[in-house]
Amino acid sequence: MNFPVPAFIQDAEFVDGIIEGTLEVEPGVLDAFFDSESEDPTEEDFRAVFGNAERFCKVFNRAFHQSITRGAAEDITNESFEDSLEEPAEKDYALLAADLILKAAQFFPDATLLIYESPRIFPKEEIVAELNAEFELAEAYFD
């Protein structure tokens, strides 16, 4: 990587065409991955990715985090109940939302993925919340 990385990205390393680093967001430090989706990325390729990440840092706060986490919990809970005769209850959504731990974010030019762990309910799965360009939850799924 022969170009500067914005100051809001800490501990940046270029690994296999992706920049890995950390971001300081409320409520703490978040592992972050920046993918230009280019085979041989240049500084120009990463400008849109960095812009997306910078906009994300400006909107990310506790309320935003809780809203996205709750939406992801609802999507995953609904998916988990698809083949069941039961309907999910409010407590099912709340239990998963409380169990989700945000571990990382992956940034692309026009999308963002938030990676969650669910240590008690889905200990062997990662849950991905895909955000659109406006940082609204597009969908959540198991990875």
pLDDT values of the chain reduced to their tens digit, one per residue, 143 residues: 677 899 999 999 999 989 999 999 877 899 999 999 998 888 888 999 999 999 999 999 999 999 999 999 999 999 999 999 999 999 999 999 999 999 999 999 989 999 999 999 999 999 999 999 999 999 999 99
How many other C-beta atoms can be found within 10 angstroms of the C-beta atom of residue 65?
16
Q: For residue 58, what is the enclosing H or E element?
A: helix 43-59
Residue 1 has a pLDDT of 63
Residue 3 has a pLDDT of 78
Residue 49 has a pLDDT of 96
Q: For residue 13, what is the enclosing H or E element?
A: strand 10-15
pTM above 0.85, yes or no: yes
Task: Extract the tokens encoding 13.
Answer: 């390393």
CB within 8 Å of 27: residues ≥ 6 apart: 62, 65
Number of domains in the chain: 1
The domain of 47 spans: 1-143
CB within 8 Å of 136: residues ≥ 6 apart: none
